[in-house]
Amino acid sequence: MPRRGELSDDLRSRIVDLHRAGQGYRSISKSLDVHLSTVKQIVYKWRKFGCTKNRPRSGRPSNILRWLQYARLQFPVFMDEADDLHKRVIKRKDDLGREALAAAVRRLLYMCEPYLKKVEAIRMTLRPQKTPQAVSTYTTLLAFSQQLCDRLEKLVLTYANYNLLCLDEAEPNSVSHFCIGQRHCGPLRLTAFRYCQPAPYLARVDTGLYKRIRWNVKRDTETEYYLLCYEEILNVYVDTDGGRHGTSHCNMKKMWFIGRWVQAEPHTNTEDIYNWVNFEVPQAKYHRLLFLGSKEPSSYSATDYLEQLLLSQQPTG
């Protein structure tokens, strides 16, 4: 059973000695009976600060400052864990077994969710501040979120390519998307989910729309759903090549929108459970609210656009 509580200085030194001797994180964790994430944190602290002891602090730091310190230490732990799981499947190190490897990825996604939510919340706290330190911290936390989400997406797609995870949203055990953050906007709470690959707007129905991000927007006691989607349209253009008569070309071009999920069947107010049983996949219309052009926005830019849109619709006075 892994140890809990504060580690002794001697045990911290032994972890570093084993790491310097070339022993891996998992091996150190197993031989010293110390949790894997704790081993990684101690090694990271030794690499960055040259020591393994907790650094002395003057006074009691604020809650935000304490959490920033935790965020900086935890970020490389999650990144290393994702890299380790990626290498295990690429190098066929499947000593854990297929089901155990898939479970490890799901567990990592579950562990990263509260971290990503908190990073987003702290970022929103720092956003109005214009001091150099606040701007620098804001930028750092944004980089943490982007890099970790990109790494998790790559990990899930790799495991899906090896048929260890399912990306079909209609399947009960699907890992088609994961949480990338949560923020509060006045009376609204936005929780964002990123699809590992573009998914059809409606499962098993071809609407020509593909979703990339879903936002669950909690408003009082109700939850609304908004999505970042794209639609492929035929783009026709003429290449004159310096001559009088041009040559027509065509290709498919993606157009990006933010819209709202408007459920049609079964009706959200229905109390007849058979209506839900008969509709294995709910049917809904896509109410376009904002056109974003042909370039895919980042997850965080798209969330900013949605936030501005929702706040502009809030009643004033």
Question: What would the pLDDT profile of 12-26 be if each residue is shown by its tens digit?
Answer: 888 888 888 888 888
How is the chain split among helix, strand and coil, in percent rounded to 5?
A: 45, 25, 30
Residues 6+ apart with CB under 8 A from 35: 2, 3, 29
State how far the Cα of 93 lies from the Cα of 23, in Å rounded to an integer.
17
173-220 pLDDT per residue, tens:
899 999 999 998 888 899 999 999 999 988 777 888 999 999 999 988
Determine the pLDDT at residue 1. Answer: 39
pTM of the model: 0.74
State how far the Cα of 14 lies from the Cα of 34, in Å rounded to an integer.
11
Residue 278 in contact with residue 185, Cβ under 8 Å? Answer: no
Q: Is residue 280 predicted with pLDDT exceeding 50?
A: yes
pLDDT: which is higher, 316 or 253:
253
Per DSSP, 202 falls in state E
Instruction: Identify the CA nearest to 212 among candidates 279, 278, 100, 306.
Output: 306
Share of residues in the chain with pLDDT > 70 (%): 80
Task: At 84, list the tokens.
Answer: 């380790």
Rounded to 5 degrees, φ, ψ at 101 are -65, -45
State how far the Cα of 108 lies from the Cα of 37, in Å rounded to an integer.
11
Task: At 119, list the tokens.
Answer: 């990073």
Determine the pLDDT at residue 22. Answer: 82
Determine the pLDDT at residue 212. Answer: 96
pLDDT: which is higher, 297 or 237:
297
Residue 176 in contact with residue 195, Cβ under 8 Å? Answer: yes
Determine the pLDDT at residue 75. Answer: 93
225-278 pLDDT per residue, tens:
999 999 988 776 656 555 555 555 567 889 999 999 887 665 555 555 554 445
Q: Is residue 95 predicted with pLDDT exceeding 80?
A: no
Mean of the pLDDT values across residues 110-133? 89
Determine the pLDDT at residue 46. Answer: 77
Task: At 98, list the tokens.
Answer: 């297929």
Q: Is residue 69 predicted with pLDDT exceeding 80?
A: yes
28-63 pLDDT per residue, tens:
888 888 888 888 888 888 777 666 666 555 554 567
